Amino acid sequence: MSKVSVKINKIKNKLDTISGLDGDFVFERILEIEKVVDKNVNEIDEYCNEDELNGTIFE
């Protein structure tokens, strides 16, 4: 398993620990996390689209 997959799974596990919670405070924090994730995933996608080897073990 790649180090990226390991890190993503750790983040998922952290989020799972709060998945049963509710309320405005928690929901607003989740929206903030989503904004950051969207921004960073878009940056990664753009980087990978610049060159077919970007983001691979061959870069």
For 15, residues 6+ apart whose C-beta sits below 8 A from its C-beta are 33
For the segment 5-18, the average pLDDT, to the nearest whole number, is 97
Give pLDDT, residue 54.
92
* pLDDT band with cut points at 50, 70 and 90 for residue 58: confident
* pLDDT band with cut points at 50, 70 and 90 for residue 57: confident
Dihedral angle computed from the Cα positions of residues 11, 53, 48 and 3, in that order, rounded to the nearest 10 degrees: 10
- pLDDT, tens digit, 9 for 90 and up, residues 17-38: 999 999 999 999 999 999 999 9
pLDDT above 70 coverage of the chain, percent: 100
